[in-house]
Structures are given as C-alpha cells and as structure tokens.
Structure 1
Amino acid sequence: MRFLFKTTYAQDLRLAKHSGYTFWYGLLLVLLASAPLWMPEYWLAQLSFVLIYAIVGLGLMLLAGFTGQFSLGHAAFLGVGAYTQAVLTGMGWPFVLALACAAGLSAAVGVVVGLPALRVKGIYLGMATLAFGFIVEEGFARWESVTGGNAGIHVAPPALLGWTLESTASFYLLCLVLAIACTLGILNLLRSPTGRAFVAIRDSEISAQSMGIHLARYKTLSFALSAALAGLGGALYAHKLQFISPDQFSILQSIDLLLMIVIGGLGSVHGAFLGALFLIAMPQAIALGKDWLPAAVGQAPGLQGVVYGAVLVAFVLFEPMGLYGRWLKVRTWLQVFPFYRQGLFKRQKSFQKSDRLR
C-alpha cells in the first residue's frame, strides 16, 4: 500500500496527491483526447452523452452528495438550460453567450426553488422539487410561442469562433473541454471553505449552524450551482439531439439522474462519471441481451425498468457507496493481497449504520 507523508502545504493543496494520480489521469486524458482518431463515430456519440450527463451529475452530486439536499425535479433545470440555449441561438446569439445565459438562468431558477425549499427537508424537499418539475414541464408544453409546445423546437449545431461544430468529433471535443473545466471547478470548490460548509450541512445541520455556517445562504448557493451545471449540460444536450420537446424533461428523466449518482457513488466526483457511464451503457447492454433472452422476456415493454429497479435495489442493499465504493474495495484488496482479511470493511459498514446528530 502507498503511504503519503506530507511535509509542505503545497503537497496538501495539489489535486494530484502523488505521481500515480498524475500518470493514470494523464493517460486517461490522452485516451479521451485521441478518441476521435480511433473510436467509431457511434461510440464517440455515446461518449459525448456520457460527458453531458457527467456535467449534470456533477451538479446533482454537489447538491445531493455533498450538501444532502435531494432533488426529484432536476430534469427541470436541464430543460431550462436546453430551451434557453435553443431560443437564444435561434435568435442569432453567439454560442458562448447563449451558453452562459443558459447556465445563469438555470442558476436563477435554482435560487427560486432553493428559497422555499429552505423550510423543508427529507421527503418533503423531494416532494417540493417533484412538484416544481411537473410545473416546469407543463410550462414548456403550454408556452408554445417560445418553446414550440409539444411539437418541440429544432436546435442548430453550435458555432464557435466562426466554425460550425457539425461533426461528431468536434462536438465531442467541446463536451470534453467543458467536462474537464466543470470537474476542476467542483474539485477546487469542495476543498474551499464553501465546499467544507456544504459537507458540514450534509453531516449535521445543527453542528454546522453552531459553527457559524449560514444554512440558508449555503443551501441556496448549492441549489444555484447545481442548477447552473444542469443548465450547462442541458444546453449541450439540446445541441447534441438538435431537437427538444417537453417530454424529454419529465419525472422519468429526473429519476434517471438521481439513479445515476446513487449507482455511481453518492458523495464522490468519480461517481458522477461512473454513473453517467452506467446510464448510457445499460440500455446498450439490455438491447444486446434481448437476443439471448426468450421472446416473452426480451420483447416485454417494461424490461428496462425492471432491470434498472433490480440494479438499484442491489446497490442499495449490497453496495451503498456505488460503483466507486466497489472500486475502492477492489483496489484495497489488490493492495493488501495476500493479507486480505474477511472483516476488512466491517468498521466501514458499522460507520454507515451509525446515528448522526440531528
């Protein structure tokens, strides 16, 4: 196993804790940047969707995983960003300016939702955000003069610095750059006083308040930042599909987003990317597996929902820390092999079941 002995403050401030981080993440970045050279166009398009959902997942992870405020209507922020981008680019606005407005308007809507939500918590907060999602979806359908109603609205490919990003490879690189920027921003935010305040609120609101943390301010800020990232992802989502309609931002989309961060690993930045990868790869795996199943099962209309539900229940019961938590255990097992003990993670499970101050 690797043991780190920090002797300077610079070591503690670095994002890469040791040379292994630098090598593996550098290799991953090289593979992702060179993907248009060796990856088929179809899988490159799917990888673009992974990056888009990862950006949205980073926002929801900040809200739910690090601040402890769950949202069942997060697809509404995704829709606000998508429709803002579609309308503004349709009016001839530059892509970058429209993107900033999409994120800013989503953040403003997040503040509007966050302020009333300060009075509720737990299941009641989920119900409030769920109601907000229904209201926004109905608003998209009724405001036909702007959104096109149920008929939807077409979105042109993004144009940046005089170049129209029509190809799959160029749009993928745009998504990659924005995903890296958002990831670095979230990582730096989490190690700042603001990020530590978010985590303190998640662990115990009473303890956080006793330390001088302004609950209303930081909860509202968390909603705003989460909504801004969702709006940014929604803008890219609109350009990728080139057509959006209200039914794309329904309660089912919100559940998919929440499922994404739970399965990826609640409370970890890695979990947003692993969850996005799961969300895109699972339908592909189900489609491939249908050929091997009996016709009565493979052609059943609710097969995907059943598989999703079974996977979620399995993770909640056997791996609450998600895919990233499972990877941490596998990595620890490889590091201590052959000295692995049966009860190695027993204390971790005990900690998860412990009662926190309320």
Structure 2
Amino acid sequence: MRVLFKTTYNQDIDHLVDPGERIRVGLVIAIALAAPLFVSSYFLSELAMFICYALAGIGLMVLLGFTGQVSFGHAAFLGIGAYTQAALMTRGIPFVVSLSLAGLIAGLVGAALGRAVSRMHGFYLAVATLAFAIVTESVIGAAEPITGGHMGLKVSPIAFFGYELSQNWQIYYLYLAVLLFVIWGVANLMRAPAGRSMIAVRDSETSAKSLGINVGSVKVRAFFVSAAITGVAGALLAHLLFYLSPETFNLLESLRLMLMVVVGGLGTISGAILGAIFVSFLPNAIDVLRAILPSAVADQAGLEYLVFGAVIALFIIFEPQGIYGRWLKLRLFIETYPYYRRATFIRQKRYLKSERFR
C-alpha cells in the first residue's frame, strides 16, 4: 500500500493529492473532450442528457451527501430552472443571462424552503420536501400565462450573440464546460469554511452548535446552493427536451435523483457522477426486465417506482457507501493484497446518542 507523505499544509486541502487519482481524472477529462471525434451525433445528445443529470446529482449531493438534509422533492428545482429558462428565452433574454437567472431563482426558492424546514429532521423533512414538489407541480400547471399550463411550453434553441448552436457537438461542449465549472466550484466550496460547516452539521448538529456554527443558516445556505445547481441542470435539460410539461418533473424524477446519489455514493462528487451513469443505463435495464417478466406484471403502471425503491433499499442495506465506496474497497484490496483485512471497512456510527432517534 502506497503511503502519501505530505510536505506542505496546502496538501491537506488539495483536490487530488494521490498521483494515481490525478491520472484517472485527467484521463476521464481527455476522453470527454475527445468524445465528439469518435461517437455519433445521437450518442452526443445522450451524453448531454447524462451531463444534465450529473449536474442535478451534484446539486442534491450538496444537500443530502454533504449536509445530511433529506429531499424527496428535488425534481421541483429541475422544473423551476427549466421553466424559468424557457420563459426568459421566449421573451428574448440572452442564454447566458437566462441560465444565470434560472439558477438564481431556483436557489432563492430553495433558500426559502430551507428556511421553512430548517428545524425539521428525518421523516418530517422528507414529507415536507415531498409536499413542496407536489405543490410546485400544481403551481406550474396552474400558471398558464407563464408556463403554458398542462398544454406545455416550447423551448427556444440556444443562441450566443445571434449564433444558434444547432450541432450536437456544440451543445455537448457547452454542457461539459458547465459541468466542469460546477465540479470545480463545489470542490472548492467543500474545502472552504462554508463547506466544512455543512459537513459538521451532517455529522452532528449538536457538536456543530457547540463549535459556534449557526445550524439554521448552514441549512439555508445548503438549500440555496443545491437548488441553484439543480436549477442550472433543469435549464440545460429544457433545451434537450424541447417541450416542457408539468408531468415531466414528477415524483419519479425526484426518486431518480435520490437513487443517483445513494447508488453513486453519498458524500463524494465522484459518487454523483457514477450515480448519473447508473441512472442513465437503468431505463434500458427496466426495458429488459419488462421483456422477461410476465405481461400481467410488466404492463402494470409503477414498475419504475418499484425498481427504483428496491435498488435504493438494497444499496442502503448492503452497500451504503455506493458504487464509489465499492471502488475504494477494490482499490485498497489490490494495493494491500495479500494483507487485506475484511474489518478495514467496518461501518462506523456517525451520530451522537442524543441524536439517534431524530
């Protein structure tokens, strides 16, 4: 097993201290940049869709993985960002301005929600965010002059200074640049005092209070950042959907985002990316499952809900650290073989006894 000897204090806050990790991340970025040279136009559009869900996953990861606040209604922020983007561009607002405003408006709504639920925990917080998603879907359907109601709203194409981005490779590079910028920003946030206070609140609110951290303010800040990133993801997603309807951002979409961060690995940016990859392939797996199951079962409505819920439950029970946690175990096994110990990754309690029943 290789041991990293740190020689400066800055290495404690470096993004990638391990040289092997730097090589892997650099290789992934190089492949992503070279993808338009090797893949078809259709596959580029699928990659752009994957980037949107990766952004939404990072947004939810800030709230759930880094701050410990459960949200079953995060698809509402996707919808707010998407409809804001479509409405502003329909009125002639430039793409860059509308994208920024979509993230800002979604963030402000998230901050308002965070202020309202800042004293809630566990089940009550989950129900509150779920109710928020249902109310948001109803409001979007009722606000017909702005959103088009249940008839839907057409999304204008992306244009920079009068030049329309009509090629899939142009849209892909734009979305990739936004994704890399958000990853860089969240990574910096998590090593700053604001991000460290979020992690402190996640691990123990009582301990965070004893250190002088304003827990309510941290939660509001986490909701704002999370909703803003998810709003940007929704704004970009709108241009791939071309036409928006309130039913697009329903409970199933929130469950998909929850599945993404739980399966990928809570508390890591890499987990959000891996979770987005998993969710991207899951619909194909469900189609295969429909072909195998009897028609009486396969044709039933709600099969997606059943599969998503079952996958989340299985990962929570058998692999709570997700796909990224499994990768860490595999890497340690390879590095330490034949001296690997099974007890290396015994699950540790992360809460105080006084917070056990919250």
The two structures have a TM-score, normalised by structure 2, of: 0.94
Q: Which residue of 2 aligns with 1:285?
A: 285
Query: Hey, what does 1:129 align to over in structure 2?
Result: 129
Distance 1:353 1:21, change over 3 A: closer
Q: 2:273 aligns to what?
A: 273
Separation of aligned partners in 1, 2:295 and 2:128: 41
Is the contact made by 2:259 and 2:311 (CA closer than 8 Å) also made in structure 1? no
Shift of 1:47: 1.6
Q: Is the 8 A contact 1:81 1:102 kept in 2?
A: yes
Report the counterpart of residue 321 of structure 2 in structure 1: 321
Partners in 2 of 1:142 and 1:300 — Cα distance?
A: 29
Task: Tell me how far apart the structure 2 counterparts of residues 27 and 324 of structure 1 sit (CA, whole Å).
Answer: 18
Alignment of 1:302-313 (within 5 A): 302-313=302-313
Instruction: For 1:56, give the aligned amino acid.
Output: A
Deviations 1:74-94 (A, max 9, x none): 111111111110000001110
Does the 8 Å contact 1:140/1:147 carry over to 2?
A: yes
For the residue of structure 1 that corresponds to 2:216, the secondary structure is helix
1:11 positional shift = 2.6
For the pair 1:35 / 2:35, whether they are aligned, the reply is: yes
Structure-1 separation of matches of 2:167 and 2:349: 47
Identical counterparts, % of pairs: 44
Where does structure 2 lack aligned partners over 5 or more consecutive residues?
none
Change beyond 3 A, Cα 1:353–1:228 = closer
Partner of 2:335 in structure 1?
335
Question: Against the structure 1 CA distance between its residues 201 and 243, is the aligned structure 2 distance closer, same or farther, given a 3 Å change threshold?
Answer: same
What is the one-letter code of the residue matched to 1:67? T
1:142 paired residue number: 142
Shift of residue 299, structure 1, vs aligned partner: 5.3
Q: Which has the larger displacement, 297-306 or 47-56?
A: 297-306
Shift of 1:297: 5.7
Q: Residue 6 of structure 1: CA displacement?
A: 0.6
Quote the Cα distance in structure 1 between the aligned partners of 2:59 and 2:80.
15
Q: Distance in 2 between matches of 1:20 and 1:208?
A: 34
Alignment of 1:1-358 (within 5 A): 1-288=1-288, 290-291=290-291, 301-345=301-345, 348-349=346-347, 351-352=348-349, 356-358=353-355
The alpha-carbon deviation at position 211 of structure 1 amounts to 0.5
Greater CA drift, 26-35 or 335-344:
335-344
The one-letter code of the counterpart of 1:339 is Y
Deviates more, 1:173-182 or 1:9-18: 9-18
1:271-308 C-alpha deviation (Å, 9 max, x unpaired): 11111111111112333455566656655555444333
C-alpha distance in structure 1 between counterparts of 2:273 and 2:321, whole Å: 14
Q: Shift of the alpha carbon at 1:19?
A: 2.4
Task: Give CA-to-partner distance per residue, 1:152-185, whole Å, 9 cap, x none.
Answer: 0010221124431222211111111101000010
1:124 to partner: Cα distance: 0.9
Asked whether the 8 Å contact 1:61–1:267 carries over to 2, the reply is yes
Distance 2:309 2:113 in 1: 28
Q: TM-score, normalised by structure 1?
A: 0.94
Query: Is contact 2:203–2:350 with CA below 8 Å preserved after alignment?
Result: no
The one-letter amino acid paired with 2:21 is Y
1:326 Cα deviation after fit: 0.9
How many Å apart are 1:357 and its aligned residue? 4.7
Instruction: Give, as a single letter, the amino acid of the residue that structure 2 aligns with 1:106.
Output: A
User: Offset at 1:269?
Assistant: 0.9
Q: Tell me if the contact between 1:204 and 1:356 (Cα under 8 Å) persists in the aligned partners.
A: no
Unaligned runs of 5+ in 1: none
Deviation at 1:41, TM superposition (A): 2.5
Please give the alpha-carbon distance, in whole angstroms, between the structure 1 residues aligned to 2:234 and 2:330. Answer: 34
2:204, 2:218 → 1: CA distance? 14
Offset of residue 134 of structure 1: 1.1
- Letter of the aligned partner of 1:131 in structure 2? A
Cα drift, residue 311 of structure 1: 2.1
Query: Deviation digits for residues 312-357 of structure 1, max 9, x if unmatched?
Result: 2221111011111111111111111223334343xx22x1487555
Question: Is the deviation greater in 152-161 or in 230-239?
Answer: 152-161
Q: Which amino acid aligns with 2:2?
A: R
Q: Is the 8 A contact 1:75 1:250 kept in 2?
A: yes
* Corresponding letter in the other structure for 1:66: F
Amino acid at match of 1:26: G
In 2, Cα distance between equivalents of 1:309 and 1:257 = 12
Alpha-carbon deviations, 1:100-137, whole Å to 9, x = none? 10011011101111111112221111111111111111
8 Å CA contact 2:204, 2:350 repeated in 1 = no
Deviation, 1:215, is 1.3
Alignment CA distance shift 1:321-1:3 (3 Å): same
Assess if the C-alpha contact under 8 Å between 1:270 and 1:324 holds in 2.
Answer: yes
Contact kept, 8 Å, 1:203 with 1:356, in 2: the verdict is: no
Alignment length (residue pairs): 355
Give the partner amino acid of 2:75: A
Kept in 1, the 8 Å contact 2:252–2:305? The answer is no
Alignment check: 8 A CA contact 1:50 1:273 kept: no
